[in-house]
Structure 1
């Protein structure tokens, strides 16, 4: 997406916030939610006394250090100050917030009021790495922008269309009915965007039968099988812990392991939660980092556990692609997106190395030279292999623009 030059577009209307545990990504859009005017991230990971502020507009990008105790209130205020200083001085009329888990109550974007805020607080335990910081950012933004409408856009909403067979777990059915134990799915904003963008790239005006497998690979990882922009299956489940191996999360494991650890090694719930969510995945296997770039560097230097971590990571992704190909009855396009999916040539190559039996054929030259939103498959590949730069912020802005208009 091309950014408009500061001052050239004077509508400072829709702000999108995407909160992590120690980061706040932001993007400013024009009144119609079509043009991104500015964006960036504030990162205070590992520090309680400073943060790094990244800011970009068309033709301008800079970073500086913020000194002080970083929190979401400070971050939102700093965003406002920097936008205003760069000529974006029109009022923000809508703020769109990415909320990972909507629970059973929220299957579409909603205006945030006190009741919604309380309901989201009650389900925070379902996404402990994501919902609490998002709600902290909501509180901060409501104070900084009290006259704006605030909208929650949910990662889980896309999966409200999943078939019942994919939603229900093979557990006592009463758990589904009485306790709400079900598959929710996550990264839905990203998967929905990539499905629409893939149809555009492939020039499929009628995409009702388009069969896509989308691999969202970042610190959190998920894959989704999509037919005609509707989800058919996905890897994440009741929480974002299920599915593929991730940066610090284990992904799917035998639940009997947890029972064994509780019974034989007296591990408590909080300790297991910490291990599964924050000390497993690439970090747990490699012992190096949760950052795929650092794991890859170590593997290239001969680090055996780092090499094992990458091999496990690629194998689990490839196995999921195979399973989803059967579910869909074939593949029209395999999509790589998010930080690792977009940027790691090595990972894409390793994943595709075992897909020849599906006639999904990677062109290594194109893989090395890839640009955003490009096809890196061989000419004679049955399925196209697309690298798509996910733009979750734009979809959030569109939802915020729509609800703002409906509420006015």
Structure 2
């Protein structure tokens, strides 16, 4: 029997897992909601909504393999590679690699820099490492897409020696998604337009500028905390405000980290929820805080589009992708409103919605990463 590849994509508010051979055999997509979890199983062209509980969400890889076994698709013994999306700062993580003891050590050291993404990956690794010694574990880099981004886009205004010593540069994230969308642009257009901006909008969001298919700037930075306000992440904030909170706000570093990653963004602004769909419903019901949170979010995305259009010297194509970007016409309309000077409007041929397929991109890259 042909060996299979299992890929696991752990996001800040969702988990996706897929089993692949020459194509996708089956997959599951789990999402957090205010009421718990929702899940969708896909086998071939058939989709089924399923009830997800905490233990399912915590062990998404085992859950999908259980489904694959029940449907006579595959067993764990049929899997020879498992690829995990890795969101971690540092040049070490800007390439796809075999996950060995050195890799896990490096990931553990990086954990304090991106805890929201690295902690669940380490937890997942601890579980799947027990499956079989014959399965190669692969770290699929979410930042390698930006590896050759212009130096001026990577640098912060820090002393050069300090940046070099600690590796503090703009690494960028959601690169797996960007690669997937770029491939689909080629299929859609037959050619890659010169000046593209891709808005990956979900619980975590990235806006990326591409010229001739190559990234020239991106909104996330050293960690996935930078950029537009996100579901529960603060996004851009004056470093002086962070220092003030440390000195005068009665917050220690760990408490501040928890607040910036898990209690800010749309959740912090609205005081209600990190989920855009729920905020839209609240705004329509007259909730002023929900409306304000959505306006701050869409205005921030719009600012990046304007700034990146200036860097690109114009704009040929504006792409919306990921959960919010694909599903919410309301959010797309708010972002596009006021961009008429760029010949951008919701119904413009320059504005497209392209579903991302990070799982297929990960599976493709796992094939070419050395292993069994």
Quick check: TM above 0.5?
A: yes
**What does residue 68 of structure 2 align with?**
83
Alpha-carbon distance in structure 2 between the residues aligned to 1:170 and 1:246 = 24
Check the 8 A contact 1:20/1:134 in 2, yes or no: no
Alpha-carbon distance in structure 2 between the residues aligned to 1:286 and 1:67 = 27
Q: 1:134 aligns with which of 103, 108, 121?
A: 121
Q: 1:397 aligns with which of 331, 353, 363?
A: 363
Q: 1:344 aligns with which of 328, 335, 347?
A: 328
Partner SS for 1:125: coil
Task: Please give the residue correspondences for 1:312-391 in structure 2 after superposition, counting only pairs within 5 Å.
Answer: 312-363=296-347, 377-378=348-349, 384-391=350-357
Q: 2:252 aligns with which of 268, 277, 283?
A: 268
Check the 8 A contact 1:92/1:148 in 2, yes or no: yes
Alpha-carbon distance in structure 1 between the residues aligned to 2:13 and 2:260 = 19
Q: 1:307 to 1:46 in 2, by over 3 A?
A: closer
**CA-atom RMSD in angstroms:** 2.3
Q: TM-score, normalized by length of structure 1?
A: 0.85
Check the 8 A contact 1:195/1:226 in 2, yes or no: no
Q: 1:246 to 1:28 in 2, by over 3 A?
A: same
Task: Please give the residue correspondences for 1:1-400 in structure 2 after superposition, counting only pairs within 5 Å.
Answer: 11=2, 13-20=4-11, 24-30=15-21, 32=22, 35-42=23-30, 54-65=40-51, 72=58, 74-89=59-74, 91-204=78-191, 207=192, 210-363=194-347, 377-378=348-349, 384-400=350-366
Q: CA deviation at 1:255?
A: 1.3
Q: 1:195 to 1:172 in 2, by over 3 A?
A: same
Q: CA deviation at 1:156?
A: 1.3
Alpha-carbon distance in structure 2 between the residues aligned to 1:219 and 1:44 = 10
Alpha-carbon distance in structure 1 between the residues aligned to 2:171 and 2:291 = 32
| C-alpha distance after superposition, 1:297-318 (max 9, x if no partner) | 0001111111111111111111
Alpha-carbon distance in structure 1 between the residues aligned to 2:37 and 2:315 = 44
- 84-93 or 339-348: bigger deviation: 84-93
Q: CA deviation at 1:393?
A: 0.6
Partner SS for 1:144: coil
Q: 1:190 to 1:67 in 2, by over 3 A?
A: closer
Q: CA deviation at 1:261?
A: 2.1
Q: CA deviation at 1:254?
A: 1.1
Q: 1:45 to 1:333 in 2, by over 3 A?
A: closer
Q: 1:177 to 1:44 in 2, by over 3 A?
A: closer
Q: CA deviation at 1:64?
A: 4.6
Alpha-carbon distance in structure 1 between the residues aligned to 2:262 and 2:54 = 26
Q: CA deviation at 1:256?
A: 1.2
Q: How many residues align?
A: 370
Q: CA deviation at 1:55?
A: 2.1
Q: 1:64 to 1:340 in 2, by over 3 A?
A: closer
In structure 1, list runs of 5 or more residues that go unmatched: 1-9, 364-376, 379-383
Q: 1:316 to 1:81 in 2, by over 3 A?
A: same
Alpha-carbon distance in structure 2 between the residues aligned to 1:300 and 1:71 = 31
Q: CA deviation at 1:142?
A: 2.2
| C-alpha distance after superposition, 1:301-353 (max 9, x if no partner) | 11111111111111111111000001111111001011100011111001111
In structure 2, list runs of 5 or more residues that go unmatched: none
Alpha-carbon distance in structure 1 between the residues aligned to 2:177 and 2:39 = 24
Check the 8 A contact 1:155/1:189 in 2, yes or no: yes
Alpha-carbon distance in structure 2 between the residues aligned to 1:164 and 1:121 = 27
Q: CA deviation at 1:42?
A: 4.8
Alpha-carbon distance in structure 2 between the residues aligned to 1:51 and 1:316 = 29
Q: CA deviation at 1:212?
A: 0.8
Alpha-carbon distance in structure 1 between the residues aligned to 2:343 and 2:16 = 38
